[in-house]
Amino acid sequence: MVKSELIKQSPLRILDDSTHGGVGIGNIGVLAARQGTGKTAALVHLAIDKLFQDKHVIHVTFSQRPDHILAYYEEIFTEISKLKHLEGAMAVHDDVIRNRTIMNFNDQKASSTTHVIESLNARIKEGAFKANTVIIDEFDFAHSTPADIKAFKAFALAQNLEIWFSISLDKESDAQLAHDVPEVLKNFVEEVAVLINLKPSKGRIHFALIKDHGHKPADLHLLLDTKTLLIVKE
Amino acid sequence: MKMDISKMRNIGISAHIDSGKTTLTERILFYAGRIHAIHEVRGKDGVGATMDSMELERERGITIQSAATAVSWKDYFVNVIDTPGHVDFTIEVERSLRVLDGAILVLCSVAGVQSQSITVDRQMKRYSVPRLAFVNKCDRTGANPFKVKDQLIEKLNHNAILMQLPIGLEDKHEGIIDLVTMKAYYFEGEDGMDIIEKDIPTEYTKQAEEYREKMIDAVSMYSDDLAEAYLEGKEMPPAMIYDAVRKGCISLTLTPVFLGSAYKNKGVQLLLDAVTRFLPSPKDRPVTCLDLDNNETEVTLQAVDSMKTVALAFKLDDGQYGQLTYVRIYQGEVKKGMELYNIRTQKKFKVGRLMKMHANHTEDIEEAGAGDIVALFGVECATGDTFCDPSLNYSMTSMYVPAAVISLSITPVDKKSGDQLAKALNRFTKEDPTFRTFVDQESNQTIIQGMGELHLEVYVERMKREYKCEVTTGMPQVAYRETVTEVADFNYTHKKQTGGSGQYARVAGSMAPYAEADYLFVDNIKGGSIPNEYIPSCDKGFQSSLYKGSLIGFPIVGVKMTINDGAWHPVDSSDLAFQQAAIGAFRETYLKAKPIILEPLMKVVVEGPTEFQGNIFGSINQRRGVILTSTEDGQFCQVDAEVPLSEMFGYSTVLRSMSQGKAEFTMEFLRYGKVPNNVSEDLKKAYEAKRKADQK
């Protein structure tokens, strides 16, 4: 399969369609789930889908393990290219690497919102890297204020990009999310355009759309394949 | 003077530049009683540290050549092999790792695990060298040995355990608490010679208890006795704990961490104790070699004096009176006057003078036993040669030698230099397998090849200093490659009629990209359309075409040549005719197979204060680099990138000036990658222009 066909057939088109064109420039999307349900894998698939479209992605982590994230990209890229018999996979792979940067912030001081935005700007401006999507993995919402999210939103608007956050929920918050906004997200939900919950049930992980801009959330019919860690149609 | 092998240690000291490795080595040599005054690396007294024997190293403040130095500590004998800290000289590091039984990984307590530490650690892993860590510079502002220990775990995946605690840090660094003996140690008197043992200061007792608990918990899994004593709350004598740590360390699953400040004379003696206690003796590590008489099957060597001798020449040194060869004896013994056999040259030689090398003097000895490191005098050989008992034909497994990525043309300025040049090159190529030299057939220039800009620069300087040989150098030249990207068929006839018997050969088949190796020849001829005797001629013809590609004149790699048809003539066909046909076929098909230019891509790691991160991003971007990851940690950031080697010339100067000298970088060869079209067009044009100019 050639790259353009692969983009067209990607299950992520369902996500775009169901969320009125995706997160959108200057907006924020949040992927919330319990620890170990595949948030990073889902975000990496989302990122690779953007990279296939020749878009640029910055992946921010606070994990201290950028190698670990790189391995995720390699794995998921390989799975997709194998599954879809991608033509010229090597050349596509080189482009994917060129258009992606992992930025890792190790300690508290480096992880402050002002500092992260400063570094992102440095990467975009001085590094001449026209980012379209920024992924902020495992963001610490519990220790952040609405001002932090507003600052990220302003940055997104100024740089013409969208931001995806992921957040780990505890058991109670995760259960609550189905019918109500849990405490940890309460102060932020206003600023969030798209909110998705990953829900494991009966050995499958479902994508549940909780918030879709101002619209009534539709049923996504998407799953995370627990074996390949790819997002697939239900 | 032969030694008890269980009391012998062959150790190396590896580290990032400026972690204080040379200072630490100096202190070790000092305390082990062999040298009488301590000199600093960038010596205020102009004498320089003892291990850096070369003038050039003294000037640059870095250690280039590894030297083996024998010292004794308590009743142990320790051979210290100094290893270079700069990545351009990794072959030196790798070569010394080969002969080590254990190593001290020196880390700076402020900068922590830096890129070079990661490279060196990976190399040690490759040679399975057990190591202990020494967190140096605890007296520096910002010192945090706890953070460094965590980094050992996170960045290097070590099972790192603190064996000591600092008493005070930065300018209040006074001494060290040993978590095994549960005592405090202070280093007093001139040069910290007197070790004062005291009780742990009360303000540290709680912390010491807590860290001892952690340490015992981690090491108890290596000893049933210790685990039992620990669980039942019985007394745990130091010997029992040492035994467990030693087991963990030798099995490469535990890295005990020690602390101190070599510069301030703190902790070095305790580190020496740890070296003798925890690192293996030569008989604790099995070493294998290849039996050349027996189809290169692996043979395990025994570090026993009474067995037949097997030794490895790992370092050559040009002494005042001739060549000095550093040798590690793996099996048997070496005696003055005995006969040994050099496997590579297949020549026997007699052992003349046998010496033990101390930091600043040599000592003549009569014999040396298994496991030891000694120097032989006046033996004609190259680095990496194996010396055996004449009845054996063993070779130590070949060392991993990376491909050269850069070349430089050199021209002697006058006749005298020209004469010296040959001598110098002969010496350097013997010493260093990554340093290569040849004469370019077309330009008639002498070309030297190596691992990086600095690598070659150092040799050019050594020519000047050691051989009084002045040369002018050309522009550094990147080792490009050419390859094909598509399959193309050929059907080529070579025909020549020049009176007498003519030449006739036809070959048909295909040219295809091949990722597994540089070249593959496949013979698919059915029914004798090319007679068997001429098949090797086709292969030879293709191979001779690989030497120079037609795009920019660099070697062609990654091609598969298949022949499946052809024709011959009983009188006019010959070996030469088929070679010519193959060459013609290759030339004709090459452009049809969509050839491209490949260039060496380097893995570049830049480290510096966060405030310069933007500049670092910019500088990599300008160099066609791809930024893979960036990591920020407090005030420091690290950027990992892939950058073409051709863009890296002069980067150290640029980086220094844009970061006020605070950022540094390392690079090593990663892989060959496709040159982008615009650059490739420029290269082709330049090659075309050069060819035309040469023709005139």
Q: How many CB pairs under 8 A join A and B?
A: 72
The CATH number of the structural domain formed by A3-233 is 3.40.50.300
How close does chain A come to B44, measured CA to CA in Å? 38
Q: Among B53-67, B191-205, B465-479, B527-541, which range has the highest average pLDDT? A: B527-541
Residue B48 pLDDT: 47
Q: How confident is the model at residue A31 (pLDDT cuts 50, 70, 90)?
A: very high
Whether residue B309 is predicted with pLDDT greater than 80 in this model: the reply is yes
A127 and B614 in contact by Cβ < 8 A? yes
Residue B419 pLDDT: 84
Domain locations in chain A? 3-233
Whether residue B87 is predicted with pLDDT greater than 70 in this model: the reply is no
Whether residue B44 is predicted with pLDDT greater than 50 in this model: the reply is no
Nearest to A122 among B613, B629, B634 (CB): B613
CATH class of B406-476: alpha beta
Residue B94 pLDDT: 65
Return the exposure string of B315-332: e unless at least 16 CB atoms fall within 10 Å of the residue's CB, then b: bbbbeeeebbbbbbbbbb
Contact with chain A for residue B543, Cβ under 8 A: no
A97 and B621 in contact by Cβ < 8 A? no
Q: Among A93-97, B411-415, B487-491, which range has the highest average pLDDT? A: B487-491
> How far apart, in whole angstroms, are the C-alpha atoms of residue B633 and residue B190?
38
Nearest to A101 among B154, B630, B674 (CB): B630
What does the pLDDT average to over B212-231?
88
Contact with chain A for residue B286, Cβ under 8 A: no
Contact with chain A for residue B144, Cβ under 8 A: no
> How far apart, in whole angstroms, are the C-alpha atoms of residue B408 and residue B10?
37
Q: How confident is the model at residue B84 (pLDDT cuts 50, 70, 90)?
A: low
Q: Name the more confident of A36 and B491.
A: B491
Contact with chain A for residue B631, Cβ under 8 A: yes
SS3 A128: coil
Choose among A61, A115, A104, A100: nearest CA to B611.
A115
**Mean pLDDT rounded to a whole number for chain B:** 83
Contact with chain A for residue B442, Cβ under 8 A: no
Chain A hits for B613, CB-CB cut-off 8 Å, are 119, 122
Q: A191: Cβ–Cβ under 8 A, 6 or more apart, which residues?
A: A28, A146, A149, A150, A153
CATH architecture of B287-396: Beta Barrel (2.40)
Contact with chain A for residue B676, Cβ under 8 A: no
Whether residue A33 is predicted with pLDDT greater than 80 in this model: the reply is yes
- Name the DSSP letter for residue B566: E
Question: Using one digit for the tens of pLDDT, what is the confidence trace for B161-178?
Answer: 999 999 888 888 889 999
Whether residue B293 is predicted with pLDDT greater than 50 in this model: the reply is yes
B634 and A107 in contact by Cβ < 8 A? yes
Residue A167 pLDDT: 92
Question: Using one digit for the tens of pLDDT, what is the confidence trace for A140-160?
Answer: 888 888 999 999 999 999 999
B640 and A66 in contact by Cβ < 8 A? yes
Residue A192 pLDDT: 92
Least confident range from A181-195, B160-174, B477-491, B648-662: namely B648-662
Is-contact B583 B548, C-beta < 8 A?
A: no
> How far apart, in whole angstroms, are the C-alpha atoms of residue A118 and residue A114?
6
Question: Using one digit for the tens of pLDDT, what is the confidence trace for A62-101?
Answer: 876 788 899 999 999 999 988 888 887 888 888 888 999 9
Residue B402 pLDDT: 64
What does the pLDDT average to over B114-129?
75
CA distances from B307 to A56, B98, B291, B369 (A): 64, 21, 16, 10
Whether residue B581 is predicted with pLDDT greater than 90 in this model: the reply is yes
Interface test with A, best of B157, B599, B606, B617 (most A CBs within 10 A): B617
A110 and B614 in contact by Cβ < 8 A? no
- Give this complex's ipTM: 0.88
Residue B38 pLDDT: 45
Residue B100 pLDDT: 86
Chain A hits for B621, CB-CB cut-off 8 Å, are 126-129
Least confident range from B119-123, B227-231, B587-591: namely B119-123
How close does chain A come to B617, measured CA to CA in Å? 5
Chain A hits for B640, CB-CB cut-off 8 Å, are 66
Whether residue B46 is predicted with pLDDT greater than 60 in this model: the reply is no
Chain B hits for A119, CB-CB cut-off 8 Å, are 610, 613, 630, 632
What does the pLDDT average to over B193-209?
88
- Put simply, the chain B residues between 606 and 625 with a CB less than 8 A from any chain A CB are 610, 613-615, 617-618, 620-621
- Name the DSSP letter for residue B293: G
Nearest to B629 among A70, A125, A129 (CB): A70
Cα Rg for chain A, rounded, in angstroms? 17
Chain A hits for B154, CB-CB cut-off 8 Å, are 64-65
Whether residue B90 is predicted with pLDDT greater than 60 in this model: the reply is no
Question: At residue A200, what are phi and psi to the nearest 5 degrees?
Answer: -80, 130
The H or E element containing residue B601 is strand B595-609
Q: Among B121-130, B191-200, B582-591, which range has the highest average pLDDT? A: B582-591
Chain A hits for B628, CB-CB cut-off 8 Å, are 70, 97, 101-102
The CATH number of the structural domain formed by B482-593 is 3.30.230.10
Whether residue B104 is predicted with pLDDT greater than 70 in this model: the reply is yes
Helices (H), strands (E): how many in chain A? 9, 9
Contact with chain A for residue B628, Cβ under 8 A: yes
Nearest to B614 among A64, A65, A126 (CB): A126
The CATH number of the structural domain formed by B600-678 is 3.30.70.240
Q: How confident is the model at residue B92 (pLDDT cuts 50, 70, 90)?
A: low
Whether residue B397 is predicted with pLDDT greater than 70 in this model: the reply is no
Strand ranges (E), B416-513: 436-439, 446-450, 471-473, 477-478, 481-484, 488-496, 503-513
Interface test with B, best of A95, A103, A112, A121 (most B CBs within 10 A): A103
Is-contact B389 B309, C-beta < 8 A?
A: yes
Chain B hits for A64, CB-CB cut-off 8 Å, are 154, 631
The CATH number of the structural domain formed by B5-284 is 3.40.50.300
- Name the DSSP letter for residue A29: E
Domain locations in chain B? 5-284, 287-396, 406-476, 482-593, 600-678
What does the pLDDT average to over B585-605?
92
Residue B361 pLDDT: 65
Interface test with B, best of A94, A106, A115, A117 (most B CBs within 10 A): A106
Q: Name the more confident of B535 and B649.
A: B535
**Fold agreement between B406-476 and B600-678:** yes
B559 token code pair: 């091609």
B626 and A98 in contact by Cβ < 8 A? yes
A122 and B614 in contact by Cβ < 8 A? yes
How close does chain B come to A28, measured CA to CA in Å? 23
